[in-house]
Amino acid sequence: MSEQNAFVLPNGKVFVYTGILPVCGNADGLAAVLGHEIAHVLAHHQAERMSHSIPSVILTYGLVYLLGSLGHFASQMLNWTVNLPNTRVQEAEADNIGLMLMAKACYNPRAVVDFWNHMHKSERVRVPEFMSTHPSHFNRMQSMSERLYKAESLYENSGCHMVRGYIPKFTDAIDHYAGPQERAPPIRGHHPRGGHHGRGHHIQIQPDDSSDGEYFF
């Protein structure tokens, strides 16, 4: 799908639309997206949203019942002042956790800033932040820039330069020892209609990926 989006289900399955891959640009950019979605699971955001939604729905119906048409306005104000700010806090928290996750996993944390910069430049309609479930792309870019020092320190202390140096040798070894049936060409991800198995299979994200669909991880 051409939509620039990714999301995670309550069971931990992460879905990534192909439309976001050109924005990711490379594996580091994809790691930024996956780190953010995994962070939602680690922080139990889905459970928080469900627990907050129940009293919100009850209050909304109560306002509509008591105030009629004014109740709809009151419920919208409730959404703007309580529900949306709480969701934005969760998104910011997932950004912070995801940044540290990708740095510790030896992906370049600077890719997060590049990702949000690309998202900011590519957005066509900019919804006021107070009406959105997410912080603005520009604010997220600034927030991640301010936290880069800590993430880069974690990256350096995790021995990532040594680890990344082994990646070309590792992928070459996989292709060398894989049989003809196991050796796979570079692919963009795991498609929900069919998984790829075997020691010879690895994933490469290409910025010119034009295939439609969703990938899950």
Q: State whether residue 211 is helix, strand or coil.
A: coil
pLDDT value of position 159? 84
pLDDT value of position 77? 59
d(CA 38, CA 51): 20
Average pLDDT, the chain: 76
Q: How many Cβ atoms from other residues are within 10 Å of residue 169's Cβ?
A: 9
**Which two structure tokens, joined as six digits, stand for 201?**
């299979």
Confidence tier at 153 by pLDDT (50, 70, 90):
very high
Does residue 131 or residue 109 have the better pLDDT?
109
pLDDT value of position 6? 92
d(CA 80, CA 37): 24
Confidence tier at 141 by pLDDT (50, 70, 90):
very high
Res 204 pLDDT > 90? no
**In this structure, are residues 132 and 88 in contact, taking their beta carbons and an 8 Å threshold?**
yes
Average pLDDT score over residue span 173-181 = 68
**In this structure, are residues 172 and 189 in contact, taking their beta carbons and an 8 Å threshold?**
no
d(CA 4, CA 16): 9
Answering whether pTM is above 0.85, one says no
Does residue 124 or residue 83 have the better pLDDT?
124
Confidence tier at 172 by pLDDT (50, 70, 90):
confident
Confidence tier at 192 by pLDDT (50, 70, 90):
very low
pLDDT value of position 2? 74
Average pLDDT score over residue span 110-132 = 80
For 57-66, 130-139, 179-188, which range has the lowest pLDDT when averaged over its residues?
179-188
CA-to-CA dists, residue 189 to 118, 119, 180, angstroms? 21, 21, 20
- Residues known to be catalytic: 37
What is the DSSP secondary structure assignment for residue 22, as one 8-state letter? H
